[in-house]
Structure 1
Amino acid sequence: MGILSRASYVIRSKINALLNRAEDPTETLDYSYEKMRDELQQVKQGIADLTTQKKRLEIQKRRLEENVEKHNDQARQAVQQDREDLARKALEKKQAKMNQIEELDSQIARLQDTQDTLVQKKDELQSRIEEFRTKKETMKARYEAAEASSRVSEAMSGVGDEMADVGRALERAEERTDEMEARSAAMDELMESGALDDVLSDKDSIERELEAGRTNAEVDAELETLKAEMGKSSAPAEEEAADAEVDVDVEEEVVDEEVEAELEELKNDEESS
């Protein structure tokens, strides 16, 4: 097979595949049905034309038959008048008309045979068209049912083109959501650990600790200043704390004396017994 032949074969196969995918069987059936109806209409039109032609010949035949009667009467009248010459002419015309009538009869008979044949074919074609129409409607119903069932099956299984696109979109959305959730969790972890501040700041850890210490000292100094302005220094608080410590020591000494007294009583009881 030459290059051109192979190329032609490939092109025809591609075109045939495209046509198969683009072809709608229901539309093809409807088109075939309409073509058959057109053919039936043409047959009916042919029968009508043939019948019209036959009617014209029949009309012409009736006129010739009327002329035959006329010439026959003329011949009789000529014989009555002893005009044999006129009678002969009338009979000759009569014979010519009868020959034409005979020829018309044969033509009318042929047209009638043709008409009968066309009517029979028309009836057969019409019967086939009705049969085809029944099969067409049945096939269309089966095709539409199969197509609907196929769409439902594809939708249920997710293998259809649209469902596949939906599935891919869902997968992309899920991947994007996982990515955003992971990114958000990572940012939260960085913010809690302070790593994000380290990244955003150009100071090292020592500078940040020193700065925090200076900030605390400034806050403490400002707090003392505020207390002094309001008449609440830290001295009374220290004295109260010292008094509280003295009270605790006194209570402890009293407890110790009571314990020693009880021990002494126990010793005396043992010695007396």
Structure 2
Amino acid sequence: MTGITARITALFRVKANKALDRAEDPREVLDYSYEQQLGMLQRVRRGVADVATSRKRVELQVNQLQQSKDKLQAQAEQALAADREDLAREALTRRTAVASQITDLEDQLVSLREQEEKLTLAAQRLQAKVDAFRTRKETIKATYTAAEAQTRITEAVTGIGEELGDVGLAMQRAQDKTEQMQARAGALDELMASGALEDATVPAGRDDIQAELERMSAGQDVERELARMKAELPAASTPAAVEAGEAVEAVEAPERSKGPADPEVTS
């Protein structure tokens, strides 16, 4: 179970690293690193300020003790002049203690000055690194932005982008269906022209000659009816009526000529 758990954990880390790598934006990472360096620089500057404050405080203490030392020296001299050797001895004793304190503070002051110089130098070096990193960061960000834009333009031109790729596939499918439909229509036209297929809109048993004969018969019926209607008009003696009657006779004459055959002949 331990081995399986370790493998699952490793697989999860690999998947997580890949997902983070896809979601990671180098520009955001650079900005974050720059902010971290600025925070570090700010902390170093605060350290320098704190050390400088401590140094200044020690310097003030040294000055105050130095004034106290000088004052005790003067008091000892005055006491000795007044024939107060005991007071002079006490003043000199205190002066010695103050001098010892001054020595200790001066040693501490030297240490603080060294620390301040080191921190100041470190802050200056860190400032230079931060400035260099900022310049490098902006250069990398500009290069990455340009490369990203060029990549998108190239994908748009070549159609290999995800969205444009889907559009290209849709267009290809539409073109394939159109060509397939055109090919089917052409094949059906060829089959109809060759007679392999019949027109479903034409009744069975009717060909082109039959249709032409029916159209001629329908035209004669129309002319016959029109002539009859003209003959029945009131002005039957007018030239137009006479012509209409003649037209009727001319149309009906062939029909009468096609009357029943002579019985003698048929027999």
Per the TM alignment, residue 155 of structure 1 is displaced from its structure 2 partner at its CA by 2.7
Q: Distance in 2 between matches of 1:123 and 1:234?
A: 126
Runs of 4 or more consecutive aligned structure 1 residues displaced over 6 Å after TM superposition: 182-194, 212-219
The question of whether the paired residues in 1 share the 8 Å contact of 2:55 and 2:109 is answered with yes
Cα deviations across residues 215-235 of structure 1 (Å, max 9, x unaligned)? 997886565343212123531
Matched, 1:235 2:234: no
Measure, in 2, the Cα distance between the counterparts of 1:68 and 1:223: 152
Specify the alignment match of 2:120 in structure 1. Answer: 119
Determine if contact 2:62/2:102 at 8 Å carries over to the other structure: yes
> For structure 2, which runs of at least 5 residues remain unmatched after alignment?
232-243, 255-267
Tell me which structure has the larger Cα radius of gyration.
1
| Number of matched pairs | 233
Q: Distance in 1 between matches of 2:77 and 2:52?
A: 38
User: RMSD value over aligned CA atoms?
Assistant: 3.4
**Structure 2 residue 78 is the aligned partner of structure 1 residue 64:** no
CA shift at 1:194, angstroms?
6.7
Which structure 1 residue ranges, 5 or more long, are not aligned?
Answer: 199-203, 241-273
Hey, what does 1:197 align to over in structure 2? 201
Residue 38 (structure 1) shift: 1.1
How many Å separate the matches in 1 of 2:215 and 2:95? 148
CA distance in 2 between partners of 1:167 and 1:180 (Å): 20
User: Counterpart of 2:160 in 1: which secondary structure?
Assistant: coil
> Hey, what's the Cα distance between the residues in 2 that align with 1:114 and 1:174?
79
Are the aligned partners of 2:69 and 2:98 in contact in 1 as well (CA < 8 Å)? Answer: yes
- Give the match for residue 7 of structure 2: 6
| Equivalent residue letter for 2:248 | S
Partner of 2:86: 85
Contact 2:224–2:251 at 8 Å: present in 1 too?
A: no
Tell me, yes or no, if the aligned pair for 2:44 and 2:123 is still in contact at 8 Å: yes
* Rounded Cα–Cα distance in structure 2 between residues aligned with 1:222 and 1:153: 73
Whole-angstrom distance in 2 between the partners of 1:239 and 1:137: 108
Looking at structure 2, the residues matched to 142 and 153 of structure 1 have their Cα atoms a distance apart, in angstroms, of 16
Counterpart-to-counterpart distance in 2, 1:127 and 1:30: 17
Maintained 8 Å contact 2:75/2:88: yes
Inter-partner Cα distance in structure 2 for 1:236 and 1:150: 89
User: Cα distance, 1:11 vs. partner?
Assistant: 0.5
Superposed CA offset, 1:91-114 (max 9, x none): 111111111111111111111111
Give, in whole Å, the separation in 2 of the partners of 1:219 and 1:156.
Answer: 66
Q: Distance in 1 between matches of 2:82 and 2:70?
A: 19
Q: Give the match for residue 143 of structure 1.
A: 144
TM-score where L is the length of structure 2:
0.74
Match for residue 224 of structure 2?
224
Q: Contact 1:50–1:111 (CA<8 Å) still a contact in 2?
A: yes
1:166 and 1:197 map into 2 onto residues whose CA distance is 41
Q: Which has the higher helix share?
A: 1
- Do the aligned partners of residues 86 and 150 (structure 1) sit closer, same or farther apart at CA in structure 2, a change above 3 Å counting? same
Percent identity over paired residues:
39
